[in-house]
Structure 1
Amino acid sequence: MMLKMLLPACSEGVMYLCYFLGGLAFITAASAQGADIKDATVEEIKAFFERQNKKVLTFAGYSGAGYESEALMLEQAGRILGEFDPARTIVNGGATAGGVGAVYQLAKGKGFLTTGIVSSQAKQYNAELSPYVDYVFYVEDATWGGFIEGSEELSPTSKAMVENSDIIVGIGGGEVARDEMIAARRLGKEVRFIPADMNHQEAIEKAKKNGLPVPTDFRGPAGAAFE
């Protein structure tokens, strides 16, 4: 019925053809908007990026903690994106929508191919993915990322993130972002850090909920390590 309303010019004799062609248009549009989401190993992710033959620009930062000023974060990210050619660059991140994940929409608007590498923990806890990511890779991981506890070895998710990035831009960030930037710098990769406060109110409420002292420093672990 909807297609018949949308295709009033079709005569009764060719209505079935119009239904078919119109249906194909709707299917194609829906497919174009959907991300390619899959479980992948570190090796499979590496092979994917090698096939693209593009520079990989990764944004790291706060996720669930959010930003005190998301507008400022996006302004800073926009300036970084302006340095790169969308035809030769992939914008990569942690796939989820919150926090620094807002950069995905900005990148898509500028014509960049976008990718996300995220721990299988995100699937387990139903973390919302950004609708502006073209390719999402879930990595089997017992943690959300960063260094494996008690070692200087990256978890599988962070290993895939760091090894496939040419440049990592951290805008604030928690433990995972901090560890990935430290590891990337050790590998001789380009790392840029832009200080940014996490969302103050969310940090205070989280501390109270967990019975912890109310925080007064909102720079985050990455800020403490890189400022």
Structure 2
Amino acid sequence: MSQDTTPVSALPEPPEAAHKVFGERLADAVRYAELLADVGVRRGLIGPREVPRLWERHLLNCAVLSEVVPEDVTVCDVGSGAGLPGIPLALVRPDLRITLLEPLLRRTNFLQEVAELLGLEQMSIVRGRAEEVLSTFTPVHVVTARAVAPLDRLAGWGVPLLRPYGEMLAIKGETAEQELKASRGALAKLGVVGTSVLQAGVDIVDPPSTVVRVEVGESPGGVRFAAKRAKAARRGTGRRQRR
């Protein structure tokens, strides 16, 4: 069967864990899964082979990230793609104000459609790359990411978007510890003051989601990024004053 004709019927029923995780938003999670299995496949946002395992490998794997996200904070999901982990996180955590950051138009169009359909009013969609929006972006408490890039490169994009003493939470696989070890030098240059590897969704998803936590200090992104942001802000102020 070709990629653009995968039927929604290939999507399995939500497992028992989905009822527990999504609760009263389960119907919305089902609708999102249906959109991924149908429109998402036809637009090339997700592969047709992923449809049978959408619940365990994708929706639940992302939703359990909520276990390690603080309450009532701002979140930026970098390289959100088809909305993972940002949309499942928004469904289970209405206290969060989430920005989905994605550079590709066909993906941001899909994300906007999903946000409107599911009534996710606490969620906004921004088209662009992290390094492109840095000068105008309001720093957040938490940056999330999944399957975007190796940790050192991902941190270079995500850490500068953080507020002082914020944290980046990256869903990784079995190589999380090795990635973290290999990235320590790059992380130190970005103003990272603490790192850890966490397990989320124990007894909910098998295997649990492996999350790398990267914590920053007073100057997220290091001195170079702080200076770049300040310079851009001064330019913006000057332009407004000259009008």
- Give the TM-score taking structure 2 as reference length: 0.34
- Higher fraction of strand: 2
- Give the TM-score taking structure 1 as reference length: 0.36
Structure with max Cα Rg: 1
- Higher fraction of helix: 2
Larger RCO (alpha carbons 8 Å, 6+ apart): 1
